[in-house]
A and B are shown apart, each in its own frame.
Chain A
Amino acid sequence: MISQNALHHAEKCRFCFMCRHLCPIQLQTGKEINTPRAKGLILSMENKGTAKFDRDMAQTMYECLICDACVNDCATGYQPPLFIREARTEAVANDLAPESVMKLLENVEATGNIYGAEKPSFAREGKDVLVYVGEVAACKVPKMAESLLKLLEQAGVSAKVLENEPGSGAMLADLMGYVDEVAQEAKTLANAINATGLKTVVVLDSYDAEIMKQRYAAWGAEIHAQVVTATQYVSDLLKAGKIAPKASLAKKGACHDDDRLARTFYEFEPIREMAKAAGFELVEMFNKERLAKSCGSAVTLAYMPNIVLKVASGRWSDLLRTEAQAILTANPQSYLCLTQNVPEGKEVVDLYSALI
């Protein structure tokens, strides 16, 4: 039951081929079925009754990172993720989603996060800002969360972290689209944030920041505080002289613009300021900023590790074409994906840890 609006986008996308060369999955698999156009065609056929939405089609809908590269590239303003998300809703509602996806949904139901493990707590009291750690950093990249909190402490910022931090809905929205269950999770988190009375929420994971800033208000889950990305916040602290820059490392590094900073927030300077302050000599990969190629996301790595490993390699190959020794990121999801297969002699640097 795809909405009329999503069908409209699918109908337009099925005729066009212009974004195929930048779908990070298609670039690795080489399969036509992995292009946004193919997904539009499938939904169009299903709508016209010439094909049935089955397990294979559902599988195809999940072979997408929702990295927004195609949206960014579309000259006519159509948005493949719009119908891809709805197709995922359809898949879950009809029990057609891949098993690996259903497993993650069961994990969320059991533990509140996709990893099905208890989320380590970073809870602390503070009076200046609320830090939202998010499930990927907490479960998989705890060092990054610890470093951010330490950095804030060094800068004299008293940060609070919620006890039993609720999920943001970002993971669920990728797994089953923008459904009421996601909006309910959003409301729970918004209420928890609003109850603190703090004026600023510093969000470590830009994927969480995206859904909080772009979606919550429309769902009646308004956050009263100002939501800022941790990268922006830290870079402001650097500018204000609250964090001291490091001595030069005499090492070349290239910043990876994660999907959300690159194509939701168009936030490019802060991570580069952080990288310079950490002592790196900056070089740039050929496709950077809005055109930065995705290295995968935590949720896709969890349900289709083989494909995402290739996607991460694709990003590494961009780095290998530069003189950089390190790929620099301040996003836990990018860090997680990129550390899966680090080429010999290269490293992934977490910019928060690098600034301590």
Chain B
Amino acid sequence: MNVLVCVKAVPSTGSVQVDGAFRLQRDGAKLEWNVSDLSALEAALSLKGPEGRVTVLTMGPKKLEEPLRELFARGVDEALLLTDPAFAGADTFATANALETAVKNHGPFDLILCGRRAIDGETGQVPSMLAAALALPCITGAERITPEGSGLLVRRPVEEGVQMLFVPMPAVISLCEYTYSLRLPGIMGLRRAKGKAVTLLSPAELGIDKENLGLSGSLTRVIQMDSKFPGLRKGPKTDSLSQGIPAILSVIKEAKG
């Protein structure tokens, strides 16, 4: 199976700091791979089979080359990085367009996997938009994927319960966080990774008009961004259990009415 996994680098939640006015400071935050994208990557690695290939695709700054190389050590065969200032500021529409072009240039793929949503934007729209652009069926928020005949059996939680869906390939599927835990890099994988290079792709190489990319290709504009940080409470603090335990119990009792 030839699988493509779309991944996104997001600010690492552990490195986001609060400033003096208790506002969130994202500048200078480290980047890490979005958690649900890692589920998708592990699903790809475990589904591809001995003859299969896994390609990862991402869009972002050139400094993502090194983190992409880390993924080689976990069994990824090829890594594509869409990098150019023209890609910056893309909304979900422009992002899906850029990814679509890369998929058409480097495909075909039997299966395209994504994470359910990115923790920074939290829209979860790109997988479905990409699928629509490629005219492929799409199942969002999957928990488990099992090969069955020429297609896949997909377990997907919805409001009413859990759906078991069958989808033929090729298809786009987005995965929930933590449903597959990404394998560790292995020594053998690290040795193999040494000889591999990330493929950098620019708009020119993909033959896309810059007008359709990034901010200029976007159909939505963020006009304001406000920080909404939890307020300080600074309630009383005690190290005496004889005071603390009854205090906790009385809050619980009150809550239960």
Nearest B-chain residue to A220, judged by Cβ: B181
From B30, B70, B184, contact of A178 by CB (8 A): B184
Cβ of A183 < 8 Å from any Cβ of B? yes
Q: Which residues of A contact B66 (CB under 8 A)?
A: 1, 4
From B30, B184, B190, B191, contact of A4 by CB (8 A): B30
Given A179-B184, A180-B184, A218-B181, A4–B31 Cβ distance below 8 Å?
Answer: yes
A223-269 interface (Cβ within 8 A of B): none
Cβ of A181 < 8 Å from any Cβ of B? yes
Instruction: Let me know if A183 and B184 touch, CB within 8 A.
Output: yes
Instruction: Let me know if A1 and B69 touch, CB within 8 A.
Output: yes
Cβ of A3 < 8 Å from any Cβ of B? yes
Q: Which residues of A contact B31 (CB under 8 A)?
A: 4
Given A218-B181, A219-B181, A220-B181, A4–B67 Cβ distance below 8 Å?
Answer: yes
Expressed in whole angstroms, the Cα–Cα distance for A219 and B184 within the complex equals 8
Cβ of B187 < 8 Å from any Cβ of A? yes
| Majority-rule SS of A interface residues | helix
Expressed in whole angstroms, the Cα–Cα distance for A94 and B189 within the complex equals 12
Cβ of B62 < 8 Å from any Cβ of A? no
From A5, A89, A94, A220, contact of B185 by CB (8 A): A89
Given A89-B190, A180-B189, A4–B183 Cβ distance below 8 Å?
Answer: no
Q: Which residues of B contact A1 (CB under 8 A)?
A: 66, 69-70, 73, 185, 190, 193
Nearest B-chain residue to A172, judged by Cβ: B187
How far does the Cβ of B196 sit from chain A's closest Cβ, in whole Å?
Answer: 11
Nearest A-chain residue to B192, judged by Cβ: A93
How far does the Cβ of A168 sit from chain B's closest Cβ, in whole Å?
Answer: 16
Instruction: Let me know if A182 and B190 touch, CB within 8 A.
Output: no
A65-100 interface (Cβ within 8 A of B): 89-90, 92-94
Given A89-B190, A93-B190, A93-B191, A4–B185 Cβ distance below 8 Å?
Answer: no
Instruction: Let me know if A3 and B187 touch, CB within 8 A.
Output: no
Instruction: Let me know if A181 and B186 touch, CB within 8 A.
Output: yes
Instruction: Let me know if A8 and B185 touch, CB within 8 A.
Output: no
Q: Which residues of B contact A90 (CB under 8 A)?
A: 190
How far does the Cβ of A257 sit from chain B's closest Cβ, in whole Å?
Answer: 25
Expressed in whole angstroms, the Cα–Cα distance for A182 and B30 within the complex equals 27
Q: Which residues of A contact B189 (CB under 8 A)?
A: 180
Residue with the greatest number of chain A CB neighbours at <10 A, chosen from B74, B183, B185:
B185
Cβ of A176 < 8 Å from any Cβ of B? yes
Q: Which residues of A contact B32 (CB under 8 A)?
A: 4-5
From B30, B181, B185, B194, contact of A180 by CB (8 A): B185
Instruction: Let me know if B187 and A89 touch, CB within 8 A.
Output: yes
How far does the Cβ of A18 sit from chain B's closest Cβ, in whole Å?
Answer: 21
In addition to A5-B32, A8-B15, 5 A-B residue pairs with Cβ atoms within 8 Å of each other are: A4-B31, A4-B32, A4-B66, A181-B188, A219-B181
- Give me the interface of B with A, judged by CB distance under 8 Å: 12, 14-15, 30-32, 66-67, 69-70, 73-74, 181, 183-191, 193-194
User: 3 nearest interchain CB pairs?
Assistant: A180-B186, A93-B190, A180-B184
- Give me the interface of A with B, judged by CB distance under 8 Å: 1, 3-5, 8, 89-90, 92-94, 176, 178-183, 218-220
Q: 7 pairs across A/B with beta carbons < 8 Å?
A: A89-B187, A90-B190, A92-B187, A179-B184, A179-B185, A180-B183, A180-B186
